[in-house]
Structure 1
Amino acid sequence: MVKLSDAGKKALDALVAETQAAKKIPGFGLAVTNLDEQLYVSTGGYKAYDDPSSGPVTPETLFWLCSMTKMITSIAGLQLVEQGKISFDEPIYKYIPEFKNAVVLEGTTQKPVTNHPTVGSLFSHSSGLSYFAFLPDPIIGLSANYLFDYSELGTRAAAHDKFLELTKGMFPGIPLVNEPGTFSYGFSCDILAMILEKVTGQSLIDYTKENIFNPIGIKTTFTLNAHLTDKLMELSFRNSDGSISRWDNQVELIPRYPKEVLFAIGGMGAYSTLPDYVTLLRHLLRIEAGKQVAVPVLKRETVKGMFKPQLSAQGAAPVDALLKMIDATNPNWDGTNFSTAVALTTKDWHGLRKAGSGFWSGWAGTNFVMDPTTGIALVSGTQIVPTMDAGANELWNKMEAIVYANLED
Structure 2
Amino acid sequence: MPSLTAQGKENLDKLVVCINFKLSNILTTAHYAHIWVDSLVQEGTLPALVVGATSADGEIYLNAGGKKIVGDESSENIDPDTVFWLCSSTKFIAHIAALQLVEKGKLDMETPVKEYFPQLGDPVIVEDMTSYTPEVVASATNTLRVKHLLNFTAGTFYVQSPNGGFELNKALTSDYVTDDKHTEFFNHLKGSLPGVPLRFEPGSNFIYGYNSDILGFIVEKISKQTLDQYMQENIFKPLGVEASFYLTKSLKEKFLPLAYKRPSDGQLEPYSNQPNVGIIAQDPSKVACLGGVGLYMSLRGYLSILRHLLQVLDGKADKPILKPETVKSLFVPQLNEEGCKSIDMLAQIFSAPGPMSWTNASATNLTDWKNRRRAGSASWGGWTGTNFWIDPTTGIAGVMGIQMLCITSGSGDPNLVKAYGTFEETLYSAIA
TM-score, L = length of structure 2: 0.88
Which residue identity does 2:39 align to in structure 1? Answer: A
CA distance in 1, matches of 2:282, 2:213: 22
Distance change in 2, residues 1:141/1:111 (3 Å)? closer
The alpha-carbon deviation at position 140 of structure 1 amounts to 5.7
Q: Does 1:6 align with 2:6?
A: yes
Give the one of 22, 31, 41 matched to 2:40.
Answer: 22
Which residue identity does 1:164 align to in structure 2? Answer: F
Partner of 2:367: 347
The alpha-carbon deviation at position 135 of structure 1 amounts to 4.8
The superposition leaves residues 206-265 of structure 1 with CA deviations (integer Å, 9 ceiling, x where unpaired) of: 000000001111112211123321211122121231121234343432332522154211
The alpha-carbon deviation at position 138 of structure 1 amounts to 11
Whether the aligned pair in 2 keeps the contact of 1:216 and 1:295 (CA below 8 Å) is: no
CA distance in 1, matches of 2:420, 2:158: 25
Give the one of 149, 152, 163 matched to 2:175.
Answer: 149
Q: Does 1:327 align with 2:350?
A: yes
CA distance in 1, matches of 2:227, 2:162: 25
Distance change in 2, residues 1:170/1:199 (3 Å)? same
CA distance in 2, matches of 1:298, 1:9: 32
Give the one of 185, 189, 192 matched to 1:170.
Answer: 192
CA distance in 2, matches of 1:173, 1:51: 50
Distance change in 2, residues 1:317/1:113 (3 Å)? same
Partner of 2:23: none
CA distance in 1, matches of 2:103, 2:287: 27
The alpha-carbon deviation at position 18 of structure 1 amounts to 2.5
The superposition leaves residues 241-294 of structure 1 with CA deviations (integer Å, 9 ceiling, x where unpaired) of: 1121234343432332522154211101001111110110011111123x2211
Pairs within 5 Å for 1:51-90: 51-90=72-111
Whether the aligned pair in 1 keeps the contact of 2:113 and 2:144 (CA below 8 Å) is: yes
Which residue identity does 2:124 align to in structure 1? Answer: V
The superposition leaves residues 320-361 of structure 1 with CA deviations (integer Å, 9 ceiling, x where unpaired) of: 00011x134x4x232x11111111111111211111100001
Q: Does 1:160 align with 2:186?
A: no
The superposition leaves residues 154-192 of structure 1 with CA deviations (integer Å, 9 ceiling, x where unpaired) of: x1xx21111000011232100100112211100000000
CA distance in 2, matches of 1:292, 1:397: 29
SS in 1 for 2:388: strand
User: How many equivalent pairs are there?
Assistant: 398
* Uncovered stretches (5+) of structure 2, i.e. residues with no partner: 16-32, 129-134
Give the one of 39, 51, 54 matched to 1:33.
Answer: 54
Partner of 1:116: 143
CA distance in 1, matches of 2:413, 2:275: 15
The alpha-carbon deviation at position 196 of structure 1 amounts to 1.1
Give the one of 390, 394, 399 matched to 2:418.
Answer: 394
Give the one of 389, 414, 418 matched to 1:369.
Answer: 389
Q: Does 1:274 align with 2:295?
A: no
SS in 2 for 1:70: helix
Partner of 2:309: 284
Pairs within 5 Å for 1:296-335: 296-324=320-348, 326-328=349-351, 330=352, 332-334=353-355
Q: Does 1:101 align with 2:122?
A: yes
Partner of 1:198: 221
The alpha-carbon deviation at position 86 of structure 1 amounts to 1.2
Distance change in 2, residues 1:356/1:105 (3 Å)? same
SS in 2 for 1:54: coil
Give the one of 244, 261, 267 matched to 1:237.
Answer: 261
CA distance in 1, matches of 2:267, 2:210: 32
CA distance in 2, matches of 1:212, 1:218: 8
The alpha-carbon deviation at position 106 of structure 1 amounts to 3.9
Which residue identity does 1:54 align to in structure 2? Answer: S
The alpha-carbon deviation at position 314 of structure 1 amounts to 2.1
Distance change in 2, residues 1:140/1:318 (3 Å)? closer
Give 4+ residue runs of structure 1 displaced > 6 Å after superposition.
none
Which residue identity does 1:113 align to in structure 2? Answer: A
